[in-house]
C-alpha cells in the first residue's frame, strides 16, 4: 500500500485544508524529498487571499529544504539522505526565453505540487545538494534569495556605489545583504524601527525611518546631495516607486521588485528619467544559476538568513502563519515539517 503523507491544500481563497494523500510515485529521472522546512512567500498569501488567479485546489509553498528519501533509476549522482533544496518551477529549456538567459520567464513552465506537505517530488535537474553541516532552516531561504540575487544582478552594482533598499521585510533584508556583498553602501528604509534595527545589525550602513523622516530628503543628505546609484523597492506600493525614483543619482537604476495588486500605475516625471539617464527596471523569479549562487551564499555565511525567522510553526498552523504574514507581523514565517533530523 502506498505511504500516506499530510499535505495542506488551498481549496479556495481563504480556505486551507489538511489532506492525507499518497506519497508521490517518482519517475526514473526524479527525486523524492522529505521536507524539513518550508517558508511562506508573499505569493502564497496573494493566492490565499484570492488576489492572484491560479487554479485551485493546490498545495502552495515553494521555499523548502529537505532530505532525499528516494531517487529514480536514472539518478546516479544523489544518495539517499543527501540534504537538498528543490526548485518547484520546471522550465522547458527550449523556448525563446530559456534560450536567451531568461529561463525565469520560461514560456512553458510546469509548477510542481508545493512545499506545504511532508514530501515533494522534483526532476533531478531542479535539485541542488546542500553542503553537509549547513542548517536546513537556512537553506530553505534559497528560493527567495535566488530571486533577490537576480534582482540585484539587474541593477549592475559596482563596488562603492550607494543602494537604497525600500522596505526591509524578509525580502528587503536579503536585498540589503546581497548589495553589501556586491560592495555597495546600503541605506535601508522602512516604517518599522525593529526592521531597520535588524537591517543595521546585518550590515546596512544607514537606516531611514520614513514614518519620522522624508525619505527623499534623508537619502539626499546621506549621499551629499547626489542621490542613490541604485534602489530596490521591495514593498508593493506604486507611490513609493515614484518617490524612490526622485532619490536616484544621475545614471541611477531602480528595480520594482514587488508585484503590486490591485494594479496601480506609477507616476514618474519623464524628464527625470530623460535628463538623469535613469533606468527603471523590474525582476521576478529566478534562474537555476541564481538558485545555485544563492545556495552558495547561504552555505558560506555571506548572507545571514536565520535571524530573519520570526515564527517557526508546525505545518498544521499554515492558516495562522498566513494570517501573521497578512498582518505584517514579524519577518519570515517558516514551518518545521520534518526538521533538521528529517
User: 308: Cβ–Cβ under 8 A, 6 or more apart, which residues?
Assistant: 141, 170, 173, 174, 198, 331, 332
Can residue 89 be called a binding residue for Zn ion (CB under 5 A)? no
Q: Closer to Zn ion at the Cβ: 98 or 298?
A: 98
Q: Closer to Zn ion at the Cβ: 91 or 137?
A: 91
| Among residues 47, 106, 230, 325, the one that binds Zn ion under rule CB under 5 A | 106
Q: Min. distance of Cβ 285 from Zn ion in angstroms?
A: 8
Instruction: Return the range that interacts with Zn ion (CB under 5 A); candidates 93-101, 122-130, 161-169, 213-221.
Output: 93-101
Q: Closer to Zn ion at the Cβ: 207 or 315?
A: 315
Can residue 92 be called a binding residue for Zn ion (CB under 5 A)? yes
| Among residues 31, 41, 184, 208, the one that binds Zn ion under rule CB under 5 A | 41
Q: Closer to Zn ion at the Cβ: 145 or 196?
A: 145
What CA–CA distances, in Å, run from 249 to 51, 88, 119, 278? Answer: 35, 38, 48, 8
> 98 and 270 in contact (C-beta within 8 Å)?
no
All cell numbers assigned to 252: 541611477
Instruction: Return the range that interacts with Zn ion (CB under 5 A); candidates 20-28, 74-82, 96-104, 332-340.
Output: 96-104
Instruction: Return the range that interacts with Zn ion (CB under 5 A); candidates 18-26, 36-44, 124-132, 319-327.
Output: 36-44
Q: Closer to Zn ion at the Cβ: 10 or 106?
A: 106
Question: CA-CA distance, 187 to 42, in Å (whole number)?
Answer: 23
Instruction: List interacting residues with Zn ion (CB under 5 A).
Output: 41, 43, 91-92, 95, 98, 106
Amino acid at each position: 500500500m502506498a505511504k500516506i503523507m499530510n499535505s495542506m491544500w488551498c481549496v479556495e481563497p481563504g480556505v486551507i485544508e489538511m489532506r492525507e494523500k499518497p506519497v508521490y510515485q517518482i519517475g526514473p529521472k526524479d527525486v523524492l524529498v522529505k521536507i524539513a522546512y518550508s517558508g511562506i512567500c508573499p505569493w502564497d498569501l496573494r493566492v490565499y487571499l484570492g488576489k492572484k488567479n491560479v487554479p485551485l485546489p493546490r498545495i502552495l509553498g515553494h521555499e523548502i529544504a529537505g532530505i532525499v528519501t528516494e531517487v529514480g533509476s536514472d539518478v546516479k549522482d544523489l544518495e539517499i539522505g543527501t540534504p537538498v533544496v528543490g526548485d518547484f518551477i520546471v522550465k522547458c529549456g527550449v523556448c525563446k526565453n530559456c534560450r536567451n538567459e531568461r529561463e525565469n520567464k520560461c514560456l512553458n513552465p510546469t509548477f510542481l505540487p508545493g512545499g506545504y506537505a511532508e514530501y515533494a517530488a522534483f526532476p533531478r535537474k531542479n535539485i541542488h545538494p546542500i553542503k553537509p553541516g549547513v542548517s536546513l532552516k537556512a537553506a530553505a531561504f534559497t528560493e527567495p534569495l535566488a530571486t533577490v540575487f537576480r534582482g540585484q544582478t539587474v541593477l549592475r552594482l559596482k563596488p562603492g556605489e550607494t543602494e537604497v533598499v525600500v522596505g526591509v521585510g524578509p525580502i528587503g533584508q536579503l536585498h540589503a545583504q546581497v548589495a553589501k556583498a556586491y560592495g555597495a553602501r546600503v541605506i535601508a528604509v522602512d516604517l518599522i524601527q525593529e526592521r531597520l534595527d535588524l537591517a543595521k545589525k546585518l550590515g546596512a550602513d544607514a537606516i531611514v525611518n520614513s514614518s519620522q523622516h522624508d525619505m527623499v530628503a534623508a537619502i539626499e543628505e546621506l549621499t551629499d546631495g547626489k542621490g542613490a546609484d541604485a534602489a530596490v523597492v521591495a514593498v508593493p506600493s506604486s507611490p513609493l516607486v515614484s518617490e524612490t525614483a526622485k532619490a536616484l543619482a544621475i545614471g541611477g537604476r531602480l528595480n520594482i521588485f514587488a508585484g503590486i495588486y490591485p494594479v496601480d500605475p506609477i507616476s514618474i516625471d519623464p524628464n527625470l528619467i530623460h535628463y538623469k539617464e535613469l533606468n527603471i527596471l523590474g525582476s521576478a523569479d529566478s534562474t537555476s544559476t541564481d538558485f545555485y549562487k544563492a545556495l552558495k551564499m547561504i552555505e558560506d555565511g555571506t548572507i545571514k538568513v536565520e535571524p530573519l525567522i520570526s515564527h517557526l510553526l508546525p505545518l498544521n498552523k499554515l492558516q495562522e502563519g498566513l494570517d501573521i504574514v497578512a498582518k505584517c507581523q514579524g519577518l519570515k514565517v517558516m514551518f518545521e515539517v520534518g526538521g533538521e533530523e528529517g
